[in-house]
Every structure is written in structure tokens, then in C-alpha cells.
Structure 1
Amino acid sequence: MTVCIDNSLPGDSQVVENKNYCDTGELVLDGGFTVPADTVVSSGGFDAPEINAFGHTFRDYDVESLRNKQVEEFYRMNHINQTYEFVKKMRDEYKKLDKLEMSIWECCELLNEVVDESDPDLDEPQIEHLLQTAEAIRKDYPDEDWLHLTALIHDLGKVLLLPRFGELPQWAVVGDTHPLGCAFDESIVHHKYFKDNPDTNNPAYQTKNGIYEEGCGLENVTISWGHDDYMYLVAKENGTTLPQAGLFIIRYHSFYPLHRCGAYKHLMNEEDVENLKWLQIFNKYDLYSKSKVRVDVEKVKPYYQSLIQKYFPEKLRW
């Protein structure tokens, strides 16, 4: 595997005004193509589209559209309401895993009821995105079956939007994630709305390290609550045999300030640095596989069911 990642020091990330874009170098994938941070290219086994489902470039939060107005309102609510205490409360509640018992595939099918209002690139039911991502990775990484399964399940935590899981508001389930308990980095999309977050009134949370120590490890950092952390809890507490890199991807795939912009690297430990390499690879497929290409669900279902059986129990507590 050949991976080229940003080697800049913490604090070196750059934000282009009004674009929420950060210069993180380029990534060379085993599929045989290079994806620069500011360009989407098509080569090798993975056909990376140039535009998203709405006809715009990916993660462009500034283009004038009704969808982006909805996305901005989502982030306004997210940045106001995601506080350190709120996240602690959510983790305490949902780590009980007392909502439902069901299989991984049953949960996949539930996502047909979910559309992510925070996503400027996608308006398809989530099951389509899961299979697009998984199949794209499977094509370029045929021997890494754990990565195929990680792609399939990475967004399953979005079931938190459904009534049987508490019907949490969108701002408490989807969107980019970020740490609480330290300063809000300016690379976070729609950063301006943090001015109304109660945590800004706590001086202990307004420094670079905040309540944490440099190099403490992301495991010890409180990240905004959502589907990432919930699915991580589900997988871990149900005894999955996925490797740590898979759990890292599930837990931090929405942590764009880190894996796209290089923010908060000073809080990472050595294990985080190694796992981030896999997340950097995964993210290109997670983002750029959002297209109108359809996947034959029934055709690929037996393969993914075999992976579920390999890495998970038949029924999980949710």
C-alpha cells in the first residue's frame, strides 16, 4: 500500500476564504491513481466523478442552491447545540444499547428510510451510498474484506433519526464532527455559528488543548455526538472482530477538520497516526462514490452477508 499524507505540523492547515477547503497534500491509492486534495480525478479501478448528485463540485458549501441553504441551517443548529455536556449525556444514554436487537443487514435496510440533510452531495437513500462506497473499495482493495464491510456499515448509526431509536434531530446525528472541550478550529464548516454555543463562555474550553493534553489520543477526546460515535459503540460493545483501523474509520469518518484539514493533530497519539492513513484512503471513496451509479443490491447481498457473519454476531444490541 502506498499512502502519501500531509506531513505538516499542527497549525499549518490552510483555509481558503468562504470555501471551507484545506490543503492536505495528495493521496496515492493502490487502485492506481492519485487524488490531489483540491482535484477529483478518474483513473485506475475507481471512477471518481467530477460532480455530485446535484451537479456541483463536492463539499462546496458556498454554491447558491436550496440544498445548501438547508445544509447551512443544519450547521447553525449543530454548532449551537452540540456542547460538551450534551455529548456526555448522549453517550451515557446510548451506550446502554437498549433500543432494539437486530442484525447488521436488517439495519442496512432500515436506512432506506433515511436521507441526510447535512450532505450537500447526496439526496439518495443511505443504503445506495453504503453500497456505492463498499463496491468502489472492493474493486481497488479486493483482499481487504474488513474494509469492504467497514464501508458498508460506516453510516448505520444514522438510524438514530428513526422513532424507534429516539428520533434525534438531524443536528444530533449527521454532519461533520469536531472536538468539544477545546477551541473550535476555523476549518470547521460554517464556523461562524459557534459564537452562539454555550461552551464559548467557558474559558477552559477556549484554548488549543482545552481540557486535554497534547498527544493524549483521540480515544480520550470528546467528539460531537452523532452516527459515527453511536455506530462505534454498537460495534465495540457487541464484540466485533474488525481491526482497530476499521473501528477508527467508523468513529471518525465525519471528522473532516482532522482528515481533510489537519486540525487537531496535536491531540493524536501514535496509533491514531497509523489508523488515520486508512481513514484517508477510505474518505476518498466515501466522498467521491456519491453519484447516480446504482448498485444491484440482491447481486452483492450474499457477499456482504458473509462478511457480516465473519466479523459480527448474528444479532446485535442497538
Structure 2
Amino acid sequence: GSDPSQIYQPDGGKDKENFRNYTSGPLLDRVYTTYKLMHTHQTVDFVRKKHVEFGGFSFKKMTVMEAVDLLDGLVDESDPDVDFPNSFHAFQTAEGIRKAHPDKDWFHLVGLLHDLGKVLVMAGEPQWSVVGDTFPVGCRPQKSVVFWDSTFQDNPDIKDPRYCTEYGMYEPHCGLENVLMSWGHDEYMYQMMKFNKFSLPPEAFYMIRFHSFYPWHTGGDYRHLCSPHDLSMLPWVQEFNKFDLYTKSEDLPDVSELRPYYQSLIDKYCPGILRW
């Protein structure tokens, strides 16, 4: 029960309230533009096409650590808190989890893996179809979606009678595994881990699949689509989120010192050259 902003903050210089500020700040224009594009173009048809396009995992063959290194070249344009490469964030998150949960080595690995789906940017995908918060397509967006009131007006699905109601194309409490989420690094990485048969517990797959679904795990929306299983997994996602969010800092870790430990976890749970 102690305040996570005190525990997980490497630099100690930022209060909890100052993360995820979408109303002011130096990066806001960049962030808003990314979400406007996302909320215009992420439709049911678009997401289905992306599942087909990337579902064969023929983009690249590489190890997990090679994917981490690829993220050296990526600054996330949807993130109002970070203006440094995503690879550092992977290690920051993992180290925060390792300190708080020393006995769960698989959970440490989730910290390293959670954003690796952003290698989609290296496959030529625009950032609005890779990064940022996710939301269900095929039903009306709920109010805790970022910039909900000013970014969806050009999305064709909000005028489509099949998709524009509260439930849209879904049944009540159908379960999030039966919901088509906006396309991005969460869903891609979840599918990639299944395809390559990572030997991690179900909680790990679930956290990676839904860690960017802020309107659900933080905003409290979309409960009408959740099954009892989703609600039982929610505390895991929320626990993960503390580290994903509050370890972001310009105080960058010494990655060379950390590599051998994380390589040992990769060798245990997801070894070798994988298909991406």
C-alpha cells in the first residue's frame, strides 16, 4: 500500500500526477497528432487487415535481445513522458519489477518484453498503428479514451450502425479475448509470443496483450465487455502498469551490466532465433 510514485521513480523528480499529462507539455502536439491519426484510421476493417498482414510472422528472424537493440532507434511519439529511446524503458520497467517481485523471474522478463511489438515501426508501420493506448474497435469509444471528444469524428465506424452502439458487434460480457482491439504493439506481441510458443504463464501473455488498454485498466471503462476471467486478471495488469509508467526517467540504466541476467531469462523462457 505505499505510494508507487515514491518506490518506482528512479530520479525522484516527478510526482505521480505529472505522468500521462495530455493537456499541456512540450511533447503535446506530437502526441495529439499521433492519436488523431489513430482514432481516424483504426477501424474494424483496418485491424482485420493487420492481423492478416502480420499474422504469418514473416517480417524478420531475430532473438529477443536483437529486438531490444532495435528499439534503440525508436522514440515513442504517443508518449508525453519520454523523449529517449524505448530500449532504456524496457530495462527500467524490468528492473522496477525485479526489485518489487524478486521471486518472479518470469515477471521481470515481461518488463523487458512488453514493448517489443514496437519493432513494427521498423517494418515500416506508422506510429499511430503501433504505439499509444489501445481501445476496442467495433463499438462506440468510451469517454476515458485519450482525446475521446476531439479525435474520432472522421472515423467511418462511428457512423456505421453495426459498430456505433455501446456494444457494437459484441455480446455483453463476451470477454476481452473475443474483442477486436485497435491494432498495435500489444496485440502483435501477444500473437508473436503465442506463435513462437513462449513458455511463460498465462498472466504474462495477458499483461502484454492489454498493458496499453488504459481506458480499461485505469479509466474503468469497457466493463460491459469483460468476463469474470478479465476481472481476475485486472490486478495483474494494474500491478504491471505501476512499473511501466512510474519507472520512466531520464536517469538511464547501465544496460551492459543488466544484459547477462535478462539473457538468462530469455534462454529459459523464449530462447533462440524467433519469427517476428
Q: Is the 8 A contact 1:80 1:193 kept in 2?
A: yes
Hey, what's the Cα distance between the residues in 1 that align with 2:130 and 2:255?
25
What is the RMSD of the two structures over their aligned residues, measured on CA atoms? 1.6
Q: Distance in 1 between the 2:62 and 2:144 partners? A: 38
Q: Aligned residue for 2:198?
A: 240
Higher relative contact order (CA 8 A, sep 6+): 2
Contact 1:118 1:174 in 2 (8 A): yes
Correspondence for 2:51 among 70, 91, 104? 91
Letter in 1 for 2:209: R
* Matching of residue 288 in structure 1 with residue 246 in structure 2: yes
Cα distance in structure 2, aligned partners of 1:146 and 1:271: 21
Which position in structure 2 is the counterpart of 1:176? 133
For 1:308, give the aligned amino acid.
I
Give the unaligned 5+ runs of structure 1.
1-27, 36-40
Identify the residue that residue 211 of structure 1 maps to in structure 2: 169
Q: Is the 8 A contact 1:99 1:317 kept in 2?
A: yes
2: CA distance, partners of 1:50 / 1:270: 39
Question: Residue 60 of structure 1 corresponds to which residue in structure 2?
Answer: 21
Equivalence for 2:154: 196
Aligned residue among 135, 142, 151 for 2:111: 151
Structure 2 runs not aligned, ≥5 long: none
Q: Is the 8 A contact 1:218 1:267 kept in 2?
A: yes
For normalisation by structure 2, the TM-score amounts to 0.95
1:51 corresponding residue in structure 2: 14
Cα distance in 1 for partners of 2:120, 2:13 equals: 31
Quote the offset at 1:193 in angstroms. 1.1
Query: Contact between 1:216 and 1:268, CA under 8 Å: does it hold in 2?
Result: yes
Q: Tell me the distance in 1 between the aligned counterparts of 2:106 and 2:227.
A: 23
* Aligned counterpart for 1:108 among listed residues 68, 74, 77: 68
Deviation at 1:34, TM superposition (A): 3.6
Answer whether contact 2:91 2:112 (CA < 8 A) is retained: yes
**Structure with the higher helix share, 1 or 2:** 2
Q: Are 1:132 and 1:293, in contact at CA under 8 Å, matched by a contact in 2? A: no
State the one-letter code of the partner of 1:173.
Answer: V
Give the fraction of aligned pairs with identical amino acids, expressed as a percent.
Answer: 47
1:62 corresponds to which letter in structure 2? Answer: T
Show CA shifts across 1:179-238 (max 9, x none): 001111011111121111010111121221111111111111000001111111111110
Amino acid at match of 2:134: T
**Alpha-carbon separation, structure 1, partners of 2:223 and 2:64:** 32
Task: For residue 50 of structure 1, report the CA deviation from its aligned partner.
Answer: 5.3
Conserved 8 A contact 1:177-1:255? yes
Which structure 1 residue ranges, 4+ long, deviate > 6 Å from structure 2? Answer: none
How many residues are paired up?
A: 274
